[in-house]
Amino acid sequence: MQSEQNAEKKAIALKELPPSHGQLVPVTAKLPVPAGNISTGPFGRWRKMLAVLAVIMAIGGAGYWWMHRVPPLPPGIVMGNGRIEADPIDIATKFAGRVLELRVDEGARVTAGQVLAVMDTRDLDASLKKAEAQAEQAKKSISEAKALLNQQHTQVVLAQQEMDRAESLLKSGWVTKQTYDQRQQTLNSSKAGELAAQARVTEAEHALDAANHDAELYRVNIADNTLVAPRDGRIAYRIANTGEVLAAGGKVFTMLDFGYVYMDVYLPTLEAGKVRIGEDARIVLDAYPDHPIPANVTFIADQAQFTPKMVETQTERDKLMFRVRVRIDPERSEAHADYVRSGLPGVAYVRTDTKTEWPERLKAGS
C-alpha cells in the first residue's frame, strides 16, 4: 500500500516538471545568435584592421628592400668578405731584466721613436762606469809610455852622434876600434829601447780602444733597455707590468703598425685565377658603408684552402678557395689612423679586368 502511494507521488511530480527537465538536448540544437552580422561586429573589424596593417607592412618592407638593395657588380669585379687587420709588432726586451717604468697603456697612439718602457739598468750603469774608468787609466798609461818613448829617442840621438864622431876619429886614428864598437853597441841598445817604448805606447792605445769599446757596448745595451716604438701605430696589448722580471725576448707591448693595414679575403678558383698582384681594389667596411677605401692586391696564395690539395674533378676544383690580400696605401692609412680598428668586418672588391670601370658607389674618395 505504501509503495503504491510513493509511485503515485513520483508520477504527479514528473507531470509538473518542464518538458525539457531530465531529457537530453540534441547536439543539433541551435544556440542563440546575437543580433547583427558577424562580419560587422567588433571581431570582424579587428580582423580587417590586422589584414590592412599586414598589407602596409609588406609594401613598406618591399620598398625598403628596393631602396637599400645592393646593385649587382659589373663583370670584371669580384668581392669577398673579410676583416681589416693591421700588422702586429711585439715590443720585447733584448736582455733579461726588470721592468722599471711603463710610459704608455693599451689604446695609446704612439709615434716612431717614442719611449714606451724603460728597463732597470743599474748593473749596466755600473759596468759602464768601470769601462770609462779603465779608459781614463789607459789614457794615463799612454801619456807615460809616450814620455818614456821621448826619453829613449833622445838617447838614440845622442848615441848616434857619438857613433858618428867615433867613426870619423877612427879614420884619422884618434880612437881605437874598441871605442868604435862600444859606440855602436850603445846606439843599438838605444834603438832597441826606443822600439820597446813605442810598443808600450801602442799597447796603452789598444787598451784605451778596448775600454772605449766596452763603454760603447754598455751604452748600446743601456739604450736597448729603453724600449721605443719602431713605427707609428697604436698599442693593442700591454703584456707586462712594472716590476716584473722578464727573460731575454720578453714581450712588454704589442702594437699595430698603421703603415701596414690590409684585409684577407678568399676567392674561388675561377675568380682568384684572374687576379694579379698590384691590381686595383676597394675595401668597404660595415661601419663606413659609404666610404670605399682604395687598396691594391699585394699577395695571392699559391695553395688552396678549405678543400684537399689534390682534386681531379671540375666540381671539386670549383670549390677551391685562395687567400688574397688587399692592402691599403700606407700614407692613406696613416693619415686616417684614428679610424683604424683591427677586426672591423667588411667587403673587399677586386678588379680582375683593367678595362672595367668602378661603379659610382665604389669610386675612391678622399
Separation between Cα atoms, residue 170 and residue 189, nearest integer Å: 21
Residue 120 has pLDDT above 60, yes or no: yes
- Cβ partners under 8 Å of residue 60, min gap 6: none
Is 296 within 8 Å of 329 (Cβ atoms)? yes
Does residue 69 register a pLDDT over 90? no
Whether residue 233 has pLDDT greater than 70: yes
Distance separating alpha carbons of residues 32 and 257, to the nearest angstrom: 83
Residue with cell 716584473: 244
d(CA 220, CA 166): 60
Q: Yes or no: say if 228 and 94 are a contact pair by the CB < 8 Å rule.
A: no
Place of cell 687598396: 295
Question: What confidence tens digit (pLDDT) does each residue in 333-356 have?
Answer: 877 777 777 888 999 999 988 888
pLDDT of residue 59: 67
| pTM for the structure as a whole | 0.61
Q: Give the pLDDT band of residue 83 (cuts 50, 70, 90).
A: very high
**Mean pLDDT throughout 108-125?**
94
CATH class of 77-88+258-362: mainly beta
pLDDT > 70 in the chain, percent: 78
Report the half-sphere exposure of 146 (CA within 13 A, side-chain side): 8
H or E stretch at 334:
helix 330-335
pLDDT tens digits, 140-175 = 988 888 888 888 888 888 888 888 887 777 777 787
From residue 254, alpha-carbon distances to 144, 162, 329 in Å are 54, 78, 22
- Which tens digit of pLDDT belongs to each residue from 165-207? 877 777 777 877 888 778 888 888 888 888 888 888 898 999 9
pLDDT digits (tens, 9 = 90+) for 255-272: 999 889 999 999 988 888
| Sign for the pseudo-dihedral over CA of 92, 98, 102, 105 | positive
User: Cβ-count burial of 222 within 10 angstroms (0-12 exposed, 13-18 middle, 19+ buried)?
Assistant: middle
